[in-house]
Amino acid sequence: MIKRFMQYYKPHKKMFILDLCAAFLISMCDLIYPIITRNMLNDYIPNQQLRLLITSAIVLLVIYVVKMLLNYFVTYFGHMVGVHMQADMRKEVFNHLQKLPFSYYDEHETGTIMSRMVNDLQDISELAHHGPEDLFLSVIMMLGAFFYLCTINVALTVIIFAFIPILVYIAIQSRKKMHVAFHESRVQVGVINANLNNAISGIRVSKAFNNAHYEEEKFLQGNNAYVKARELSYKAMAYFYSGTGFIIDLLNVVVLMAGGIYTFNGWINFADFVTYMLFVNNFISPIKKLINFVEQLENGATGFKRFTELLDQPIEQESVNAHDLKDVKGHIEFDHVSFNYESGEEVLHDISLNIEPGKTVALVGPSGGGKTTICHLIPRFYPLEQGEIRIDGENIKEISFESLRKNIGIVQQDVFLFTGTIRENIAYGNLNASEDEIVEAAKRANIHDYVMTLPEGYDTQIGERGIKLSGGQKQRLSIARVFLKNPAILILDEATSALDNATEILIQDALDELCKGRTTIVVAHRLSTIKNADEIVVIENHHITERGTHEELLKKNGLYTRLYQAQFKSLE
């Protein structure tokens, strides 16, 4: 773990080394004051050496000016080392998140992931800066004080420093309790962030159902769990600080008593006694830094452990021989495909399909039958273990993710739009598209005329997840970006099911335009929208139970006929 943490210092090692050097010089400055004080008391004042007295004061003043500049350097540049390390870690984990499979996001909440990327990395940043600096400064201070005090009186110095092992023992015992408590606290912070993200994202739903009280109770449960977790962590901290604080106070008593006895017996003079008192006061500061370091270490180590847990999540795996698809025709074959999710539940069983280039195949059947799963398997959102899926005769396992997904366009029922402008969301289909290409895609998606009625046109901000747009407008934006992507294969997953009839007609025209010349897979509950498909495949209980054209399936008088008649009667 330590070795892994240290690698993040490498890009910033020059500034980090300078920071440690500055900390070393600061500790040296702190050691000089008691030494000069002893010389004044032993020599300059008794012997009335005014010139040396003034010179010492000037030297001390210069040293403190230097110390001020060094403190500025350490505070500013030292923190920037931590900030840059934090930025490097955040970049690394964000890039890693882009490579994780769909299954990871099925199991982990957005708020929990965000907590690891924000809260945990903040504590890691503090440890990265203050940890080595405080540890280094404290060790130098204590070693310097020990060796100098030994030149005055070895026995008295050993008596004083004998309390350090006791302090270290208490710190180590407290650290064990703090580790457990802080880890649980981290978990609860992630939970409360997830609850917050969920509650705020669904605020309109909770208002519509008048369930604010229910949401408050849910939040209260998470909030109380967080309070309990923090209570345990602060209890461990209280044990730590009270114990170490008592040892530090006891150290003052020991210095006072032992130094007083040594002075009383003439083993050291009064100036040496004062020097001991000053050194011990200086000595307490690094001890406190060490105590703070233990807390920072717990916070940072717990955060880094959670950070590495996220980084160690296995990413989507490409074949070592993965290559790009070229001159894609769009011929799709499912060859005895079966699929289970990680829970073990079977979703598809022995599915075989042959979709010719440029043809439209519709998937119908009861919810939960596996239609959407088929759509997710084509771009390899989930790894396929049984059977084979081929595009233009090539197993998709041997095709690179980038090339495979570049040639597949997806329009879903639940449209996700990014916070930003209309232009930015359309251009998401092709980030290198020109303005003319963006406008042309909008026209083909039947959204251009609406955009031109807006005061800011394509620069209009659409709000979080496109909240300022209607369902139909959001759907047409998603169609426009697929037009811009211009894929050979198109997947329409319940693209119009959430729309009213008038809006559906408008969008269906755009979809019909989008489907021209592309291999298209349509998932639909409204059977009227897929009557003209080249083939309709009925999926029930994870199997293909019927297939054929609209007319052929009606003649079979099976599930498709019953579904169609039920919808026809409801329309009447």
Distances (CA, A) of 276 to 107, 148, 261, 266: 60, 10, 13, 15
pLDDT at 464 over 50: yes
Question: For the chain, what percent of residues have pLDDT higher than 70?
Answer: 88
Q: What is the pTM of this model?
A: 0.72
Query: Residue type for 336, please?
Result: H
pLDDT at 570 over 60: no
pLDDT at 389: 92
pLDDT at 171: 66
Contacts of 484 (CB under 8 A, 6+ apart): 426, 427, 429, 430, 433, 437, 438, 441
pLDDT at 388: 92
pLDDT at 209: 58
Highest mean pLDDT out of 178-187, 206-215, 339-348, 358-367: 358-367
pLDDT at 335: 92
pLDDT at 572: 41
The residues facing 412 across adjacent strands are 493
Mean pLDDT across 531-536: 86
pLDDT at 22 over 80: yes
Residue with tokens 């039947």: 446
The b/e string for 107-142 (b: 16+ C-beta within 10 A; e otherwise) is ebbebbbebbbebbbbbbbbbbbbbbbbbbbbebbb
Please report the domains of the chain, with CATH numbers, ordered by start residue: 2-311 (1.20.1560.10), 332-571 (3.40.50.300)
Q: Find out whether 290 and 265 touch, Cβ atoms under 8 Å.
A: no
Residue 518 and residue 138: Cα distance in Å, rounded?
Answer: 69
Contacts of 464 (CB under 8 A, 6+ apart): 419
Q: pLDDT tens digits, residue range 31-82? A: 787 788 778 877 777 788 888 888 888 888 898 899 899 889 888 888 888 8
Contacts of 118 (CB under 8 A, 6+ apart): none
Task: Report which of residues 38 and 291 the model is more confident about.
Answer: 38
Average model confidence (pLDDT) across the chain: 81
- Residue 327 backbone class (left: φ over 0; alpha: ψ -120 to 50; beta: rest): left
pLDDT at 255: 79
Sign of CA dihedral 114, 116, 121, 123: positive
Residue 540 and residue 369: Cα distance in Å, rounded?
Answer: 5
Q: How many degrees, rounded to 5, is the angle at CA 515 between CA 514 and CA 519? A: 135
Question: What is the pLDDT confidence band of residue 206, given thresholds at 50, 70 and 90?
Answer: low
Q: pLDDT tens digits, residue range 481-510? A: 888 888 889 888 876 665 656 666 667 777
Q: Find out whether 333 and 521 touch, Cβ atoms under 8 Å.
A: no
Mean pLDDT across 86-98: 87
pLDDT at 247: 74
Q: pLDDT tens digits, residue range 104-158? A: 887 877 777 877 777 788 878 878 877 787 787 778 877 887 887 888 888 888 8
pLDDT at 390 over 90: yes
